Structures are given as structure tokens and as C-alpha cells.
Amino acid sequence: MTQLMAHCDTNRVSEERVMEITAGEYTKTFHPIAHSELITALEGACGNYGVKVLDRKYSINQIGTKMFGVWNLDIGNGEIGYSLGLRNSIDKSMAVGVCSGTCVFVCDNLCFSGDFIAFRKHTSGLTTTQLSEIANNALGGAIIEMEKMHEWQKSMHEMWVPKQDRKGLVYDMIDKGVISGGKFDAYHNALKEEKALIRGRSLDGTNTLFNMHGAVTRMMRGDNLLKVSKRTGLLNKVCEDYIEYRKVA
């Protein structure tokens, strides 16, 4: 397991810290699931699917009531590995859920689908056995979505973006809250780093939607995983809207 030092404003923590957080008391209508219960259920699901977890990363909020984890799995395709996002809360703020994700090996850029396969809300009557069954179903669904997400990213590799469209895309990213206006220079520096990974191509050949997407996920490395999940979901929507625009343009 990867041991992480907490960076400023990231709230990155070790799995031991996550496992220590208790769910607290529950009532007839609210039965919070401890973060540790979710982790244990998904570990069992991975074992049932024959999937190994290569490393684990976690973020929590200041008081530990919200948790988001990323597990990099031993499955993938080519330069992209599959990752599992898992979330939980013990304060009624969100349902237990998982989402598909990918990690680009060469630069460790994470991307999440933004669509959660929710287990269920924290209602009474949820047993350990039921949680395990739901975890198995959710992991199976997430693996299917990971494959779809990888194909989507491959399509972005092949989409060259004209200069006038690049400006519009960056504006949309700022407008949708993916990046802040004050990070404009940081985005361009990240984009240069993404382009530098492309070998044997002209500079124009590196102006793809995939590299623009990668520049933003590069900027998020080390951030709080709760925020990364939300922002990559917004980023994906901007890119999807552009792809649809190109289809009809």
C-alpha cells in the first residue's frame, strides 16, 4: 500500500487513518457505513473478480466524514491503466458508490468518469452480506465502464483541435469551473509538458483533445481526490460537448 504524506490542502491520508474512522451511532432510518466496511467489501469483490490492487490513495475532508479513494488495478490496456474510484460519507452527504477511472502510466494523470455506480443510501437494514453483493455488482459495472472510458480517451488521441477551438475550449473549462482563470499560465505549462511526451511528431500534431485533457489532469496531481473526482467529471463533459460539436460542424 502506498503511504502518503499530507500535502497542503489535499488531505491525503494513509489507509490506516481511513480505517480508524468510525461510523458512529445509527438510527432506525440512518445506518452509516464506515469507510472500512466499504474498503473490506470492495477488497472481497476484487478477489472474486481475480483483480489485484496495485496501490491505493485516499483523501478525506477535515473531520473525516467524507472519503474518496483511488485504487489502481492490475488491468488496463497499453499506456492506460484502470483505476477504481470509491466514495463514502458518514454524514448523509452522499451515497456509497464507485466510479471508473484511468491512469496514464507515463505521467500518472488520473481521470474519473464522473458517473457513480451508487450502492445505496445509508438506510437501515443493510447487512454485511448485502454490502458484499452490491460491491461485486458495482465492481463488475465499473470494469465495463473503464473499458468504455479507455476507448473514449483513444478517440481524443485522434482529434486534432484547431487554434480557434483551443481558445474556446479553455474558456469553457474556466466557465465550468474546471480550472480557475488565475491558473491560465499553469495550464499552458502543463500543456507543454504533455506535448513533450509525444515523440516524433510536429508541434501541430500534438494539439489534440487528449493532450488538452491531459494538461488539466496533470494540474490536478496531488490535489484532494474528492475535488479531483468532481473536476474531472466537469472536464469530461466539456470534452464530450466538443466532440459532439465536431460531429455536426
Question: Cα separation of 144 and 78, whole Å?
Answer: 17
Question: Cα separation of 177 and 200, whole Å?
Answer: 34
Say what the pLDDT of residue 1 is: 31
pLDDT tens-digit series, residues 156-190: 988 999 999 999 999 999 999 999 989 989 999 99
pLDDT tens-digit series, residues 31-79: 788 999 999 999 999 999 999 999 999 999 989 999 999 999 998 776 7
Strands 117-120, 96-104: parallel, antiparallel or unpaired by DSSP? Answer: antiparallel
Beta bridge partners of residue 151, listed in sequence order? none
Residue 4: which pLDDT band, with cuts at 50, 70 and 90? very low
Enumerate residues 6+ apart whose C-beta is below 8 A from 53.
43, 46, 71, 72, 73, 74
Average pLDDT for residues 203-228, to the nearest whole number? 87
Question: Cα separation of 90 and 195, whole Å?
Answer: 42
pLDDT tens-digit series, residues 117-139: 877 666 666 677 888 888 999 99
Rounded to two decimals, the pTM is 0.84
Where would I find the beta strands (DSSP E) of the chain? 12-13, 53-60, 66-77, 80-89, 96-104, 109-112, 117-120
pLDDT at position 9 over 50:
no
Question: Cα separation of 172 and 10, whole Å?
Answer: 25
pLDDT tens-digit series, residues 147-157: 999 899 889 98
Mean pLDDT, the chain, rounded, equals: 86
